[in-house]
Amino acid sequence: MSPFQLFNLPLVPLSIVLNSMSLPQLIKVALTSKRSYRISKFLSSKITEKFKIYINNFITIEFENWEIEGNVMFHVFESSEIKENFEIEFLKIRDTVIKIQKNEEDDSLHVYWDNDRFVGLQFVSNILTDFFDSSIHRLAILDQNRKDDPRKVIDWLMNRQKTLPFCYFECQKTSDEDLKYFLDTCRVSEELTLVVKTSEHFQYSFKYPMELRRVAITGWPALMNLYELNCELLWMNTRNFSNQDINSFLNNWMNGGNSIMKFLYLRVKQFDLQSILNGFEVVARRFPNPLLFNWFDGRPLYFNYGMEIRRESDGKVALIRMYEDGSFKMYVWPDWKGLPYPLDDPNQYSLENTLIIMENE
């Protein structure tokens, strides 16, 4: 019996067959020839989701949408890491022959590249983003073994697209110079997370406007960085800040600084409430009926107490909550749903049972 010629089918039934495949199956079929690639790209339903790349002990390329079946598309390894318990296939992509293995557990393809897996990452990413008319949406570098130079990864991404919406960089062995290069070069547009270990005296001033949605940094941040980062969410998990630093930041916020901020998390070296709130009109409240704040992902948060300060220039209200471990949290209304401070809206909250436990002017 002669083999079935899939791409000899009329276009309508061929389209039905192609769109019934899982994404890894579709990619594998599309890559069998230049003709199959062109036809598959034309007939397949367009996937609007973008790609994310994880770089750790191995490289993973997958769709951003967790609900897509067969989410994990490719794992990229070096040829020396071929798994003996899987059958090896050879796939010709354009003019390049690569070794692949299929992982039955998640329907992904393992791609093996001679000598340098980073070259394999570039090759596979270029194929996928072209086929789906997409881009790299999220990058996570957890480079504990330093198999790939973070500079090469960032240079490649910034040369292929103007910005990177989401970036997570965790590395305990990076040098101050590498971190500065990363921060200077990586143009992040929505969310930046850094978990890094720097030298004791490391300092950095951001070289481009940092009006992102969210920034989370475990490492060096100093007071000047708080002024530079005009973000909706600022999470600074370090004890670099003094009571005077926070007082200065609050004064800057009261005068219109950090205009889009809705949440701030800091850690204080040594907690002194009077020094932090010195010079501000503060109302400390306890709420018998929990106060609602809508988080960025839609989750409701509820508070039973807090210290309230108001910014007269635009009517924004911040609720400050501090803890014995030195944590400082600041929630700003309107919240992420655009709702005003509940105590200012009779439809949300009644002031009748609210207890003022301290009022400082």
pLDDT digits (tens, 9 = 90+) for 147-188: 557 888 899 999 999 899 999 998 877 788 888 999 999 999
Confirm whether 351 is domain-assigned: yes
Check residue 348 and give its pLDDT: 63
Confirm whether 89 is domain-assigned: no
Confirm whether 22 is domain-assigned: yes
> For all residues of the chain together, what is the average pLDDT?
84
| Mean pLDDT of the 344-359 span | 57
Structure tokens given for 33? 């020839």
Whether the CB-CB separation of 39 and 127 falls below 8 Å is answered with: no
Confirm whether 25 is domain-assigned: yes
Confirm whether 79 is domain-assigned: no
Confirm whether 68 is domain-assigned: no
pTM comes to 0.83
| Mean pLDDT of the 36-55 span | 81
Task: Tell me the C-alpha distance between 91 and 106, whole Å.
Answer: 20
356 lies in which domain range?
223-360
Q: How far is CA 184 from the centre of its chain?
A: 18
Whether the CB-CB separation of 166 and 139 falls below 8 Å is answered with: yes
Q: How confident is the model at residue 128 (pLDDT cuts 50, 70, 90)?
A: confident
Query: In this predicted model, what pLDDT tens digit does every residue of 194-235 receive, in sequence order?
Result: 998 888 888 898 876 677 899 999 878 888 888 888 899 999
Confirm whether 84 is domain-assigned: no
| Mean pLDDT of the 286-296 span | 91
Res 252 pLDDT > 90: yes
Confirm whether 334 is domain-assigned: yes
Structure tokens given for 41? 């790209």
Structure tokens given for 105? 């557990």
Q: What domain count does the chain have?
A: 2
